[in-house]
Structure formats: structure tokens, C-alpha cells
């Protein structure tokens, strides 16, 4: 089963990487882009038929490895 996890900075955490991308986009002439926030994306292949069980495992991995829960949020999606 393929599951994706998207890790993004929480709303009130500054995102200098996103700001830099936003500025570059503006400099390229796309004037109507107002904000960019960047995150990480993981596509995880897991050998587990039970959807709920698989999601639980991925959530565990997100908490322990892929994200810093103090400043980041994660979203899990089935592919």
C-alpha cells in the first residue's frame, strides 16, 4: 500500500525558505503570488493490507522521525 505524508511548518512558524521562493517568484514577474510555504513530501510503500493499521504505523513514523511536532504538522493520505 502506498501512503503519502506531507510535513509542513505550523502556521505561526516563520518559513524563510518559503519566503525566498516567494520573492524569487515575484522577481520572475508573477505579481499575483502572495505567499509561499514550503514543506516536505514522503511517498511511503508499506507492506500492510489493513488501511487503519498502515495509517497508524505511518503516523508513528511521522511523529518519531519525519516531523518535529513542536513546529511542524503532518498530513497522511492514501494514494
Shortest separation between residue 58's beta carbon and a copy of itself, angstroms: 9
Q: Nearer to a copy of itself by C-beta: 11 or 70?
A: 11
Q: And the C-alpha cell for 38?
A: 514550503
Distance, CA of 17 to CA of 15 (rounded, Å): 5
Shortest separation between residue 14's beta carbon and a copy of itself, angstroms: 15
Assess contact for 39 and 6: CB atoms under 8 A.
yes
Instruction: List residues near a copy of itself by CB under 8 A.
Output: 6-8, 18, 21, 24-25, 28, 30, 32-48, 57, 60-61, 64-66
Shortest separation between residue 42's beta carbon and a copy of itself, angstroms: 6
Q: Nearer to a copy of itself by C-beta: 42 or 70?
A: 42
Distance, CA of 55 to CA of 48 (rounded, Å): 10
Distance, CA of 25 to CA of 3 (rounded, Å): 30
Amino acid at each position: 500500500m502506498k501512503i503519502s505524508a506531507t510535513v509542513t511548518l505550523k502556521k505561526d512558524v516563520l518559513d524563510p525558505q518559503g519566503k525566498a521562493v516567494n520573492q524569487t517568484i515575484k522577481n520572475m514577474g508573477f505579481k499575483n503570488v502572495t505567499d509561499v510555504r514550503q514543506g516536505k513530501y514522503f511517498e511511503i510503500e508499506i507492506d500492510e493490507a489493513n488501511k487503519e493499521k498502515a495509517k497508524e504505523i505511518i503516523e508513528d513514523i511521522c511523529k518519531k522521525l519525519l516531523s518535529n511536532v513542536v513546529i511542524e504538522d503532518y498530513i497522511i493520505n492514501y494514494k
